[in-house]
Structure 1
């Protein structure tokens, strides 16, 4: 099974194991040249998430469920295509440069634990730049506890 150009992984450091069943969304914010680095005001190209999924038992999202309402132009700008009009399946094969965001619904995750711990972060949003990707793949790991988180450019 191939993976999408952007994947993610959540490790719950309070439990010492992967965080499964966490809802995540992915957004395409803008092209790189549209970013104003002097302020945080940017016009989002796709203000709604273009994909979402839940982490698997290993805390990973390898493939996103892309929004079937995306038009051909939006799909092409993301590097995705519809496999066929009859199935409606969308394949995301090419990573396009730009600013992306992954939103992790961490509050809901902590709320459903058997012994729920309060969390300081109801959501974790990681915004990152993809610039001329050499390997056509970016991995976003999230090390999560109820009062802190860490992330980095994964491999």
Structure 2
């Protein structure tokens, strides 16, 4: 299986295991990746939602489900090319992007699946979702990996490889 140019990996640090079943959404915020384009008026709430996926048993997302109602050729996604119902994301375009991790749903689901267990924090979390905004340079690298180390009350991220 080939991987898309943006991937992610989530580790649940409270359990010491991959976080499987976390829904993640990708948004395109801006075509301009330059830091000079960012001001106090820059917001990530107006991003265009173009893809989503759910982490696998290893806590990874290697391929995204592209929104079938959008035209995303400007992002390097070829709508006409399909491999096993997967639109071809051949090249990544520069810009500002955002990954939104639906962490509240994950912790609630985890608590419901572990009823009677003393591990976890009963589905409580301080972060109902985690949003990570990032820049795709011009020219872009071939691959961008976003790891997320997650617990109920903290998270850490970095640019992976």
| TM-score, structure 1 normalization | 0.87
* Alignment equivalent of 2:155, drawn from 136, 139, 149: 149
Matched, 1:111 2:100: no
Task: Give yes or no for contact 2:12–2:149 (8 Å, CA) kept in 1.
Answer: yes
d(CA) in 2 for partners of 1:108 and 1:30?
A: 28
Task: Give yes or no for contact 1:8–1:139 (8 Å, CA) kept in 2.
Answer: yes
The correspondence of residues 37-48 of structure 1 with structure 2, limited to 5 A, is 37-42=38-43, 47-48=47-48
Q: Give the C-alpha shift of residue 134 in structure 1.
A: 5.2
Q: Give the C-alpha shift of residue 117 in structure 1.
A: 3.8
Give the aligned length: 150
Corresponding residue number in structure 2 for 1:91:
88
d(CA) in 2 for partners of 1:137 and 1:63?
A: 12
Corresponding residue number in structure 2 for 1:132:
138
| TM-score, structure 2 normalization | 0.84
d(CA) in 2 for partners of 1:58 and 1:133?
A: 31
Corresponding residue number in structure 2 for 1:55:
55
Distance 1:6 1:84, change over 3 A: closer
Corresponding residue number in structure 1 for 2:127:
121
- Unpaired segments ≥5 residues, structure 1: none
d(CA) in 2 for partners of 1:96 and 1:84?
A: 17
- Unpaired segments ≥5 residues, structure 2: none
Distance 1:133 1:62, change over 3 A: farther
d(CA) in 1 for partners of 2:81 and 2:37?
A: 38
Q: Give the C-alpha shift of residue 84 in structure 1.
A: 4.6
Q: Give the C-alpha shift of residue 40 in structure 1.
A: 4.1
d(CA) in 2 for partners of 1:81 and 1:134?
A: 17
Q: Give the C-alpha shift of residue 31 in structure 1.
A: 1.3
